[in-house]
Amino acid sequence: MLIAGLLCLSAAVASAGFGSWSLARNRDLDTTAMALRAIAPTQLAAGVMLTAGGAVALVASPHTALVVVIVCVAGALGTLAAGSWQSARFALRREVTAADCGNNCSVCTQSCS
């Protein structure tokens, strides 16, 4: 379980690092940058889940640790998948709305923001 714990903690650091990096970047109006910024909270949440799994893997009995690591990894992957899906839908909706408006919101019936 030592290896699983260290892998979980390494993945947690990577996930939290990418999430923090996305939040620290400037707030551009570019759709890609906005999508990356929108997924940052889910990356941070996945980092917390992986940290919990890694900590339990290092200190708990092997049978308990195995179950907790599986649950934490599955939860982190599910959270990232759902966050990616929502971020992609947001970015696509924003691009379609801007294209429909022709970047001129005064003639559009939808909100261009």
Residue 108 falls inside a structural domain: no
pTM, to two decimals: 0.78
- Residues with Cβ < 8 Å from 101, sequence gap 6 or more? 107, 108, 110, 112
Residue 106 falls inside a structural domain: no
pLDDT number for residue 9? 96
Residue 9 falls inside a structural domain: yes
pLDDT in tens, the chain (113 residues): 999 999 999 999 999 999 999 888 777 667 777 888 889 999 999 999 999 999 999 999 999 999 999 999 999 999 999 999 998 888 788 777 655 665 555 555 555 55
pLDDT number for residue 20? 92
pLDDT number for residue 33? 79
Residue 52 falls inside a structural domain: yes
Instruction: Indicate the number of domains in the chain.
Output: 1
Q: CA dihedral in degrees (35, 41, 43, 48; nearest 10)?
A: 180
Residue 111 falls inside a structural domain: no
pLDDT number for residue 89? 87
pLDDT number for residue 110? 52
Residue 15 falls inside a structural domain: yes
Residue 110 falls inside a structural domain: no
Residue 107 falls inside a structural domain: no
